[in-house]
Structure formats: C-alpha cells, structure tokens
Amino acid sequence: MNMTNNDIFKKLRVALMLRDDQIVEILELVDFRISKSEIGAFFRDEKHENYVECGDQILRNFLNGLVIHLRGTKENPKNPNDVLAKHRAEIPKKTSEKPKTEFKPKTDFKKKPASNNKKAEPKVQVVEKVRFNNGKAKK
C-alpha cells in the first residue's frame, strides 16, 4: 500500500498538532495562498464527495513553510521544541459539563460477614511445574 500526499499531510498535521488555520499561515510563509476549506478537502475520506487529492506542489510548499515555521529564518532563528510546545499549549483542554461521579453498582447483595476463625487454606496447585528443554545443551 502506497502512501499518498494526503496521507503524509494528515500524519504531519496530527504529529505536529496543527489546525487548518495554522496550516494556512505556514503556507503563507512561502507565499502560497490557500483557503481553509481547500485544506479541509485534503483531510477528508477518499470516498467523500469533496475529497481532493493533494498535489506535489502543495505538499512541497507546506514542507518548505514548515521548515521556516519551526526553525525560523537565518536572521531570526527559532527553537523547534519551543514552537511545538506552543502548539501543545494552544490545544484546549477537554472539559466535560457533567461532574464525574463515583460508580456505585445497584445491587442488593449483602456481603458475607468475615469469619476470622478459619485458617487460610493453602492453594492447590492445579498444574505441575514443568521444565522445558528447547534442545540447548547445558554447559
């Protein structure tokens, strides 16, 4: 199975935690103009009616823009780890509206009272211990 440009683009977007608007900004770094809806079409399922195949030119421009985005320019260098940390910080934390409650099973079973007068019975070994010889001679 061959990876298409769309697959590569998708994997980079997920790995670098990029939103569509950030991808538009990265492409603008190399003077390549594209809309968010056009980018969204690359990430659709192949069977979807609005799916568009990502061409070599778009992927090439994205990769060139990504280098500038992560490393900066000669005049204004950046640390890629700082840029990626900033992306992580921009991702909103998922908050659930319902407060989590502790799970309580709805059963009417009553626990048997623990009787301390019984001694713990030793566990019965069901399978006997077996030593395997894989054909290696011992020294």
Evaluate whether 78 touches 71 at the Cβ level (below 8 Å): yes
Neighbouring CB atoms inside 10 A of 24's CB total 17
% of residues, the chain, pLDDT over 70:
73
pLDDT in tens, 57-71: 999 999 999 999 988
pTM over 0.85? The answer is no
Question: Which residue from 81, 61, 85 is spatially nearest to 71, judged by alpha carbons?
Answer: 81
- Specify the pLDDT at position 63: 93
Evaluate whether 61 touches 27 at the Cβ level (below 8 Å): yes
- Provide the terminal-to-terminal Cα distance of the chain, rounded to the nearest Å: 48
**Phi, psi angle pair for 68, to nearest 5°:** -65, -40
Q: Could you tell me which residues come within 8 angstroms of residue 64 by beta carbon, excluding any fewer than 6 positions away? A: 30
Q: What tokens were used for 43?
A: 């990430």
